[in-house]
Amino acid sequence: MANHAVAVAAPVRPKVGREDWTMRGLILVIAAYLVVAIVLPLYAILSKSFENADGQFIGLANYAEYFATPALAYSIENSLTVTLISTVITVTLAFVYAYSLTRSCMPFKGLFKGLALIPILMPSLLPAIALVYMFGNQGFINELLFGESIYGPIGIVMGECFYVFPHALMILLIALSTSDARLYEAAQSLGAGRIRTFFTVTLPGVRYGLVSAFFVTFTLVITDFGVPKVIGGQYNVLATDVYKEVVGRQDFEMGAVVGMVLLIPAVLAFFADRIVTRKQVALLSARAVPYEPRPSGPFDTAMLGYCAVIGFILVFVLGVAAYASFVTFWPYNLELSLNNYQFDLMDGGGWASYGNSVEMAAWTAVVGTAVIFGGAYLVEKSKGFRAGRAAMQFLCMIPMAVPGLVLGLAYVFFFNAPGNPLGGLYHTMAILVICTVTHFYTVSHLTAVTALKQMDPEFEAVSASLKVPFYKTFWRVTVPVCTPAILDISMYLFVNAMTTVSAVVFLYSPDTALASVAVLNMDDAGDIAPAAAMGMMIVYTSAAVRVLHAVLTRGIARRSQAWRRR
Amino acid sequence: MPFQAIVRAAGSLAAAAVVIAAMGSGAAQAKSELLVYTAIEADELSMFKREFEKDYPDVEIKWVRDSTGIITSKLLAEKDNPKADIVWGLAATSLMLLADYNYFQPYAPKGVEMLDAKFRDPADPPTWVGQRAWIASVCYNTVEAAKHNLPLPTTWADLTKPVYKGHVVMPNPNSSGTGFLDVSSWLQLHGEAGGWKFMDALHQNIAWYTHSGSKPCKQAAAGEIPIGVSFAYRGAKLKNQGAPVEVIAPSEGVGWDVEAFAIVRNAKNLDGARKLADWSVSRKANEIYNMEYAVVAMPGVAKAVKNFPPGIEGKMIRNDFAWAAKNRLRILDEWRNRYDAKSEPKK
């Protein structure tokens, strides 16, 4: 009796069992991974920026030199200029596109949603290469620039708008599809016209989505390296400066300084986005009724026309890249051939680099999904251990704020430091996988958390009361239920590992050259057509994986998601 | 009994391990791996490997190849714990920069005395030994030049004329070895003040600066720009492939650097590295260098290379490598402050 009373009084501080200790131990293991993979490297690059070439601490001297060198400091202004312009254009274009897909009854919505994803399949170098073929001095439509040069801010803005379009679109699609139909009914019954409703209901409703799209686009553009590298000409930006300092001048300390400068806007935009996203969740009430657009002839036609123009541009850029990869010697020999695909005759690592990329992407998808989903599960489903879980959640968010170039350079400083017991990883496939998993950790983690939150905690409670160990519940319940999210994460990791340049450009070794880096190096050497060809190999592969993902998702959904239907 | 069985099993396992280890080391003796860092163009490497291994079947070359800038930064990043056995086919100025970090050990390859003195480190024994010269040249696209009415330039001074405004590209010396040898040659030809004055004028005509040294010529060959400041080997090669380019060696004199090798201080395969060094100064090696490059280290070997600018050897400046290596960072900073701060591309 007395014992029983104690047991009832105890829930304030539940007894920590062996299960919980195991889960806490595993949380600490993954937290340790994140500390090694992101916190320590960031510390290494930060301290490097305060050192001279001999490794002595010199305070802010490097920063003073940076701001005293106009060639470098001017890039801050350049970066902000092209980034702001690109961001405003992209968010506007993507907003109208998303509006068409969610608020009109135009046909072919599925097709246009699919077309909008084209840029995701490419390394950002590839659209820039396509722009050279279109608007360069030998470009076939360069009259459209009225004598302006594509090599500079114009080219950067055009390339970036293409490259980040799908990212802005996806955020805005979600924002626009979660609106409350009751507000529109109210507006209509109060006699508000279409335009008035747009400004008083639609825009306020998606303001957080817009702000979030703005910050995400801003971060992607300012940290992107591929577009300005290919088409920036003499217009220096922060991302290309990091590369120039490290690879061109072998000035690692100044590279670290520029990296830290690049980190500031990325971190600011990241925090602004987090604050806004948190508010957005609170906006949707449980009683909201989803909005259903009604057919309207002229409006639907206009929206279809708009989407057709954007969709055409997206396909056209891809088509130009594909065509460029087959032209024997632009512009003097337009015969089509496979000459540009003979990668073994050129710089960049040959066909082996393509094989390495596929291998690296496969490892990233497998290892990354296991670590990230496992980590998200532990954080979501373990009990107690508040401090540990909060720390883990914070660690999971850091990678999103760190630009790939900064992460890659930080890895050079950390893993290649003399005396680092992990130094053996340097120049291996493993370090490329670790870097890529870490670089794309946050988005994958959030996807996993969302899927896990949808699962009723009753599953764990019931399993625990039946004395089923947590890993059995995890394997037999959680994983099957979350299969769609797991597939999404692995595809996301695979495609990004194929296309990323910035994080790995300082890390590959001649044995582990990658296809995306080969695109960069071939373009640098002036072999622009082979660069386009290698870029297209990445597109073919990413597209194939996407198709495979769609087939798998459909097949598995039929089997494992039957419970969702009644 | 079971205990004895375990001991016996362990004993035979150990014996097997010894045999396997012996076989392994036997194989290693038969063919020792030599880790070679190089900046030589990808399309030439397999031939060098084949010819060297034919003469030294006990050594197997493993290439680590990248462009001059990248391989130099890779070597610098590893300076506390070098991984290469030998650096082979890299710009001598880069080797000198690395030598400042005590990166190499001196070695006099057999027959080094046969080489032209300007192709080797004057110290005895030399730290670095040159293989062949890599010489600046101008690529001129005849088709595009005709479209824009651009006359054929024959001197560096020609390139500063207003007619060429926006029609010339050159490599950025901060990232390209070719770009640096151009800048260093102009400073040596005209003196510091005169050299910068020339570059100020040239800068007015430059459309953009490229990352690599071969890109200007490739862009000229593709008509993206009519004139590219690049190097002779790249120009001749593109012309041989049928690109509409002329390769010009300006008459004031052309900058050049040496592709050279040096043995790393802690080379794990020192024997293999020395064998490659010996082979690299041989007549046979020099004849192979000559297949693509007109000027090689051993006098009397070179035959004319198709489409190399005629008489280019006579136009090579008296290049003071020590001065160039010593002043490299100062020159690069000055260059960046003068020409890299541009915010807008030229129309």
ipTM of the complex: 0.86
- Locate A150 and state its tokens: 């594509």
Q: Measuring CA to CA, which residue among A230, A45, A419 is closest to residue B215?
A: A230
What DSSP element (H or E) covers A80? helix A70-103
What whole-number distance in Å separates Cα of residue B164 and Cα of residue B145?
A: 10
**Chain A residues in contact with B346 (beta carbon < 8 A):** 149, 234
What DSSP element (H or E) covers B261? strand B256-264
Mean predicted confidence (pLDDT) in A132-137 = 95
Question: Measured between alpha carbons, how far is residue A178 from residues A104, A107, A171, A194 in Å?
Answer: 15, 21, 11, 19
Please tell me whether residues B143 and B250 are part of one structural domain. Answer: yes
Interface test with A, best of B174, B214, B346 (most A CBs within 10 A): B174
Instruction: Write the pLDDT tens digit of every residue in B236-283.
Output: 999 998 899 999 999 999 999 999 999 999 999 999 999 999 999 999
Please tell me whether residues B114 and B140 are part of one structural domain. Answer: no
Q: In chain A, what is the straight-line distance between the N-terminal and C-terminal CA atoms, in Å? A: 45
Question: Measured between alpha carbons, how far is residue A421 from residues A47, A416, A424, B111 in Å?
Answer: 19, 10, 7, 44
- Locate A32 and state its tokens: 């340790």
Distance in Å, alpha carbon of B261 to nearest chain A alpha carbon:
19
CB within 8 Å of A218: residues ≥ 6 apart: A83, A84, A87, A265, A269
Please tell me whether residues B324 and B213 are part of one structural domain. Answer: yes
Q: Measuring CA to CA, which residue among A368, A442, A74 is closest to residue B344?
A: A74
Please tell me whether residues B182 and B196 are part of one structural domain. Answer: yes
- Locate B103 and state its tokens: 């990166």
Judge whether B340 and B199 are in contact, CB under 8 Å.
no
What whole-number distance in Å separates Cα of residue B21 and Cα of residue A329?
A: 53
What CATH number has the domain bearing residue B163?
Answer: 3.40.190.10
Q: Is residue A467 pLDDT above 90, yes or no?
A: no
What whole-number distance in Å separates Cα of residue A440 and Cα of residue A534?
A: 23
Residue count (chain A): 566
CB within 8 Å of B308: residues ≥ 6 apart: B232, B233, B236, B247, B294
CB within 8 Å of B101: residues ≥ 6 apart: B76, B79
Where is pLDDT greater, at A545 or A345?
A545
Please tell me whether residues B116 and B262 are part of one structural domain. Answer: yes
Distance in Å, alpha carbon of B228 to nearest chain A alpha carbon:
11
Please tell me whether residues B333 and B215 are part of one structural domain. Answer: yes
What letter represents residue B273's amino acid? A
Number of structural domains chain B divides into: 2
Q: Does A412 touch chain B (CB under 8 A)?
A: yes
What whole-number distance in Å separates Cα of residue B230 and Cα of residue A280?
A: 56
Judge whether A289 and A179 are in contact, CB under 8 Å.
no
Please tell me whether residues B264 and B244 are part of one structural domain. Answer: no
**Chain B residues in contact with A412 (beta carbon < 8 A):** 77
Q: Look at A233 and B208 and tell me if their CB atoms are within 8 Å.
A: yes
**Chain B residues in contact with A234 (beta carbon < 8 A):** 208-209, 340, 342, 344-346
Instruction: Write the pLDDT tens digit of every residue in A11-29.
Output: 455 667 788 888 889 999 9
- Locate A429 and state its tokens: 């496939």
Q: Which CATH class is domain A62-128+144-283?
A: mainly alpha
Q: What percent of chain A has pLDDT over 90?
A: 58
State the sign of the Cα–Cα–Cα–Cα dihedral A22, A23, A28, A33: positive
Q: Does A68 touch chain B (CB under 8 A)?
A: no
Q: What's the alpha-carbon Rg for chain B, to the nearest Å?
A: 24
Q: Determine the Cα angle at A251 with ends A247 and A254, to 5°.
A: 115
- A472-492 CB burial, b ≥16 within 10 A, e <16: ebbeebbeebbbbbbbbbbbb
Give A 73-112 residues with CB within 8 A of chain B. Answer: 74, 77-78
Distance in Å, alpha carbon of B1 to nearest chain A alpha carbon:
41
A 10 A CB-CB count for B156 gives 23
Q: Measuring CA to CA, which residue among A373, A366, A431 is closest to residue A41?
A: A431
Distance in Å, alpha carbon of B284 to nearest chain A alpha carbon:
24
What whole-number distance in Å separates Cα of residue A246 and Cα of residue A253?
A: 8
Please tell me whether residues B92 and B122 are part of one structural domain. Answer: yes
CATH superfamily, with its number, for domain A17-48+345-566: MetI-like (1.10.3720.10)
Judge whether A347 and A484 are in contact, CB under 8 Å.
no
Give A 1-60 residues with CB within 8 A of chain B. Answer: none
Instruction: Write the pLDDT tens digit of every residue in B61-70.
Output: 988 887 787 7
Q: Does A510 touch chain B (CB under 8 A)?
A: yes
Q: Is residue A156 pLDDT above 70, yes or no?
A: yes
| pLDDT value of residue A561 | 64
What whole-number distance in Å separates Cα of residue A345 and Cα of residue B298?
A: 28
Report DSSP letters for A101-169, one per residue: HHH---S-HHHHHHHTTGGGGS-THHHHHHHHHHHSTT-TTGGGGTT--STTHHHHHHHHHHHHHHHHH
Judge whether A349 and A510 are in contact, CB under 8 Å.
yes
Same fold, A17-48+345-566 and A62-128+144-283: yes
| pLDDT value of residue B345 | 42
Q: Which residues pair with B110 in a beta bridge?
A: none
Q: Look at A137 and B225 and tell me if their CB atoms are within 8 Å.
A: yes
Separation of CA B64 from chain center: 14
Q: Measuring CA to CA, which residue among A125, A118, A77 is closest to residue A502?
A: A125
* A148 to chain B: closest CA residue: B347
| pLDDT value of residue B4 | 55
pTM: 0.88
Instruction: Write the pLDDT tens digit of every residue in A318-355.
Output: 999 999 999 998 899 899 999 999 987 777 778 999 99
CB within 8 Å of A319: residues ≥ 6 apart: none
Q: Look at B215 and A525 and tell me if their CB atoms are within 8 Å.
A: yes
Mean predicted confidence (pLDDT) in A292-311 = 91
Distance in Å, alpha carbon of A232 to nearest chain B alpha carbon:
9
- Residue B305, classed as helix, strand or coil, is coil
Q: Look at A151 and B63 and tell me if their CB atoms are within 8 Å.
A: no
Q: What percent of chain A has pLDDT over 70?
A: 95
What whole-number distance in Å separates Cα of residue A364 and Cα of residue B100?
A: 40
- Locate A248 and state its tokens: 């061109």
What whole-number distance in Å separates Cα of residue A528 and Cα of residue A480?
A: 46
Question: Measured between alpha carbons, how far is residue A120 from residues A492, A500, B271, B320 in Å?
Answer: 10, 11, 50, 50
Q: Is residue A518 pLDDT above 90, yes or no?
A: yes
* A73 to chain B: closest CA residue: B341
Distance in Å, alpha carbon of B206 to nearest chain A alpha carbon:
10
Q: Look at A248 and B211 and tell me if their CB atoms are within 8 Å.
A: yes
Q: Look at B207 and A151 and tell me if their CB atoms are within 8 Å.
A: yes
DSSP state of B320: -
Question: Measured between alpha carbons, how far is residue A234 from residues A152, A228, A514, B37 in Å?
Answer: 6, 10, 27, 31
Helix-strand-coil split of chain A, %, nearest 5: 75, 0, 20
Please tell me whether residues B110 and B237 are part of one structural domain. Answer: no
What whole-number distance in Å separates Cα of residue A92 and Cα of residue B151?
A: 48
Q: Is residue A547 pLDDT above 70, yes or no?
A: yes
Report DSSP letters for A388-449, one per residue: HHHHHHHHHHHHHHS-HHHHHHHHHHHHTSTT-GGGGGTTSHHHHHHHHHHHTHHHHHHHHH
A 10 A CB-CB count for A566 gives 4
* Of the listed ranges A238-247, A270-279, A471-480, B203-212, the one predicted with least confidence: A270-279
Please tell me whether residues B127 and B269 are part of one structural domain. Answer: yes
| pLDDT value of residue B65 | 80
Name the residue ranges covered by the structural domains of chain A: 17-48+345-566, 62-128+144-283
What whole-number distance in Å separates Cα of residue A437 and Cα of residue A432?
A: 9
Q: Which residues pair with A563 in a beta bridge?
A: none
Please tell me whether residues B210 and B302 are part of one structural domain. Answer: no
| pLDDT value of residue A560 | 66
Q: Look at B214 and A151 and tell me if their CB atoms are within 8 Å.
A: no
Question: Measured between alpha carbons, how far is residue B15 from residues A118, B6, B11, B21, B22 in Å?
Answer: 60, 14, 6, 10, 11
Q: Tens digit of pLDDT per residue, chain B (347 long)? A: 455 555 555 555 555 554 444 444 444 456 899 999 998 877 788 889 999 999 999 999 988 887 787 788 788 878 888 889 999 999 998 899 899 899 999 999 999 999 999 899 999 999 999 999 999 999 999 999 999 999 999 999 999 999 999 999 999 998 888 999 999 999 999 999 999 999 999 999 999 999 888 999 999 999 999 999 999 999 999 999 889 999 999 999 999 999 999 999 999 999 999 999 999 999 999 999 999 899 999 999 989 899 999 989 999 999 998 899 889 889 999 999 899 865 344 33
**Chain A residues in contact with B347 (beta carbon < 8 A):** 147-149
Distance in Å, alpha carbon of B112 to nearest chain A alpha carbon:
30
- Determine, yes or no, domain membership for B4: no
The phi, psi pair for A481, rounded to 5°, reads -65, -40
Mean predicted confidence (pLDDT) in A306-319 = 97
Cis peptide before A331 (omega within 30 of 0): yes
Q: Look at A70 and B341 and tell me if their CB atoms are within 8 Å.
A: yes
What whole-number distance in Å separates Cα of residue B251 and Cα of residue A253?
A: 40
- Determine, yes or no, domain membership for B346: no
- Determine, yes or no, domain membership for B344: no
What whole-number distance in Å separates Cα of residue A171 and Cα of residue A126?
A: 24
Q: Look at A235 and B42 and tell me if their CB atoms are within 8 Å.
A: no
Q: Does A509 touch chain B (CB under 8 A)?
A: yes
- Determine, yes or no, domain membership for B168: yes
Q: Look at B73 and A250 and tell me if their CB atoms are within 8 Å.
A: yes
Judge whether B135 and B312 are in contact, CB under 8 Å.
yes
H helices of chain B, where?
A: 2-30, 42-55, 68-77, 92-99, 142-147, 177-203, 215-221, 232-240, 270-280, 283-289, 312-315, 321-339
* Of the listed ranges A456-460, A468-472, B127-131, B148-152, the one predicted with least confidence: A456-460
Q: Look at A148 and B347 and tell me if their CB atoms are within 8 Å.
A: yes
Judge whether A129 and A523 are in contact, CB under 8 Å.
yes
What whole-number distance in Å separates Cα of residue B157 and Cα of residue B161?
A: 7
Q: Does A65 touch chain B (CB under 8 A)?
A: no
Band (A1; pLDDT cuts 50, 70, 90) = very low
Q: Does A342 touch chain B (CB under 8 A)?
A: no
For residue B210, the enclosing domain spans 134-256+317-339
Q: Measuring CA to CA, which residue among A231, A509, A525 is closest to residue B178?
A: A525
Please tell me which of the candidates B67, B81, B218 has its beta carbon nearest to residue A527.
B218
Q: Which residues pair with A63 in a beta bridge?
A: none
Instruction: Write the pLDDT tens digit of every residue in A210-223.
Output: 998 999 999 999 99
Please tell me whether residues B204 and B328 are part of one structural domain. Answer: yes
How many CB pairs (< 8 A) connect A and B?
A: 127
Judge whether B39 and B67 are in contact, CB under 8 Å.
yes
